[in-house]
């Protein structure tokens, strides 16, 4: 059997720096765990624009469709801010998401014990937190038609449309139920069925899909109440499923429960491929961090944990993913901190490479 394949797209800014550390982890799996990957590397974002005049070439797109998983660093930077919208670095990422049809965005919010005091919330509220938000990513108000700014009489009107088909809700709900089955069999669906028809349909379809998963305890919550509950007592949740707009807000809020942007991984999953694996793109939540790029200050953990998610969701290696997460936990417990994880104590930060090396050693 051939090795599983991985396409690495480091991108711009700190993307290549954090990806260098992930490569160390991948190499470790190849030599120490007999889990070799066929790794290929290519350009995305500004670096692809510099080389080819486009943020994602057709060849790279085709490659992304073939591999078992794509791992991306980050795209963008001030150098590209003045470019035309059609060739902006972000378009490369959007094209990947769209053409791979990655409809389920998984955003874990996990609090490592060593960082519990780093949260803006009390230690009690966040210590041991381990939840996942599943956000619908390819439909809803960011894509619905009609949209635009029109003239109506003597004033302008800004228009966006929330639109969900049954099948769009069904597939992301199934994805969330499957995830709940692998975890603690508890799913909370969030919408605003009290004021939005699309929310009424969302609740109906999720309830219907739930009949195929009788072991999963399903609850529903209005998204605004959900936002409050996330801040009040987030540990009441396990998996949350919600639409594109609410998911954007709720996942950013949940992320901050646990501290730094440099710690947050994500997965975007699509339909199963012929080999049964889902189309998949893994990436840290953070951007290219131009303010610290090239200085060895970036925290590589978000990208390393994104690879852990790839192990779990693309490569059926949940135990190895846990092993990697435990290595991160240990290094943090030992007190290693990149600059973004330092509070006021004024302790000495470690570099990107030192953090990567320590995780591999652990």
Catalytic, 142? Answer yes
Only segment of 61-69, 186-194, 251-259, 283-291 that touches ligand NAI (CB under 6 A): 283-291
**At its nearest, how many Å lie between ligand NAI and the CB of residue 290?**
6
Pick the closer one to Mg ion by CB: 248 or 325: 248
What does the alpha-carbon distance between residue 283 and residue 10 come to, in Å, rounded to a whole number?
10
Q: Evaluate the omega torsion of the peptide bond into residue 146 and state whether it is cis, within 30 degrees of 0.
A: yes
Residues 159-178 that bind ligand NAI (CB under 6 A): none
Please, are residues 341 and 307 in contact by the beta-carbon 8 Å criterion? no
What does the alpha-carbon distance between residue 223 and residue 229 come to, in Å, rounded to a whole number?
10
Please, are residues 13 and 43 in contact by the beta-carbon 8 Å criterion? no
What does the alpha-carbon distance between residue 182 and residue 170 come to, in Å, rounded to a whole number?
19
Catalytic, 252? Answer yes
Catalytic, 124? Answer no
What does the alpha-carbon distance between residue 22 and residue 189 come to, in Å, rounded to a whole number?
33
Does 243 sit near Mg ion (CB under 5 A)? no
> Can you give the C-alpha Rg of the chain in angstroms?
20
Token readout for 340 is: 């973004």
Only segment of 187-195, 231-239, 242-250, 325-333 that touches Mg ion (CB under 5 A): 242-250
Catalytic, 238? Answer no
Counting Cβ atoms within 10 Å, is residue 60 exposed (0-12), middle (13-18) or buried (19+)? buried
> Out of 74, 241, 257, 280, which residue is the one contacting ligand NAI (CB under 6 A)?
74
Only segment of 16-24, 140-148, 170-178, 240-248 that touches Mg ion (CB under 5 A): 240-248
| Alpha carbon separation from 56 to 9, 43, 70, 82, 94 (Å, rounded) | 10, 7, 14, 18, 10
Annotation-wise, does 296 bind a ligand?
A: yes
Only segment of 132-140, 172-180, 248-256, 259-267 that touches Mg ion (CB under 5 A): 248-256
Does 288 sit near ligand NAI (CB under 6 A)? yes
Does 230 sit near ligand NAI (CB under 6 A)? no
Q: What DSSP letter does each residue of 61-111 carry, written as one string?
A: HHHHHHSSEEEEEE---GGGTTS-GGGSHHHHHHHHHHHTT--EEEEEEE-
* Contacted entry of Mg ion, ligand NAI, none for residue 248, CB cut-off 5 to 8 Å set by kind: Mg ion
* Contacted entry of ligand NAI, Mg ion, none for residue 249, CB cut-off 5 to 8 Å set by kind: none
Which position's Cβ is nearest Mg ion? 248
- Count of residues in the chain: 362
Does 22 sit near ligand NAI (CB under 6 A)? no
DSSP state of 279: E
Annotation-wise, does 272 bind a ligand?
A: no
Which position's Cβ is nearest ligand NAI? 287
Annotation-wise, does 224 bind a ligand?
A: yes
Annotation-wise, does 85 bind a ligand?
A: yes
Residues 237-276 that bind ligand NAI (CB under 6 A): 261-262
Does 287 sit near ligand NAI (CB under 6 A)? yes
Catalytic, 32? Answer no
Binding-site positions for substrate:
97, 107, 135, 224
Active site residues: 142, 192, 224, 248, 252
């Amino acid at each position: 059997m051939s090795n599983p394949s991985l396409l690495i797209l480091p991108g711009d800014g700190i993307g290549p720096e954090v990806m260098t550390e992930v490569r160390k982890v991948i190499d470790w799996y190849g030599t120490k765990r007999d889990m070799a990957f066929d790794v290929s590397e290519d350009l995305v974002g500004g670096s692809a624009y510099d080389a080819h005049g486009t943020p994602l070439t057709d060849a790279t797109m085709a490659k992304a469709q073939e591999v078992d998983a794509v791992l991306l660093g980050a795209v963008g930077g001030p150098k590209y801010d003045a470019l035309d919208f059609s060739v902006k670095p972000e378009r490369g990422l959007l094209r990947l998401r769209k053409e791979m049809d990655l409809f389920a965005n998984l955003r874990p919010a996990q609090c490592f014990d060593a960082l519990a005091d780093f949260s803006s919330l009390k230690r009690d509220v966040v210590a041991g937190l381990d939840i996942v938000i599943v956000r619908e990513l390819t439909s809803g108000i960011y894509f619905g038609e009609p949209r635009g700014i029109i003239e109506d009489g003597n004033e302008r009107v800004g228009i966006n449309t929330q639109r969900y088909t049954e099948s769009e809700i069904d597939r992301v709900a199934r994805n969330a139920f499957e995830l709940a089955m692998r975890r603690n069999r508890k799913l909370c669906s969030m919408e605003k069925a009290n004021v939005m028809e699309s929310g009424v349909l969302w609740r109906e379809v999720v309830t219907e899909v739930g009949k195929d998963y009788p072991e999963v305890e399903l609850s529903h919550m209005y998204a605004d109440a959900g936002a409050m509950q996330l801040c009040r007592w987030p540990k009441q949740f396990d998996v949350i499923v919600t639409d594109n707009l609410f998911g954007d807000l709720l996942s950013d809020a949940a992320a901050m429960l646990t501290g730094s942007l440099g710690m947050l991984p994500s997965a975007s999953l699509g339909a199963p491929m012929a080999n049964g694996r889902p189309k998949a793109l893994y990436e840290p939540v953070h951007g290219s961090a131009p303010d610290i790029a090239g200085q060895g200050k970036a925290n590589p953990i978000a990208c390393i944990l994104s690879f852990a998610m790839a192990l779990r969701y693309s490569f059926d290696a949940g135990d190895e993913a846990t092993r990697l997460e435990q290595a991160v936990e240990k290094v943090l417990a030992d007190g290693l901190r990149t600059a973004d994880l330092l509070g006021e104590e004024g302790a000495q930060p470690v570099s990107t490479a030192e953090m990567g090396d320590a995780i591999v050693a652990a």
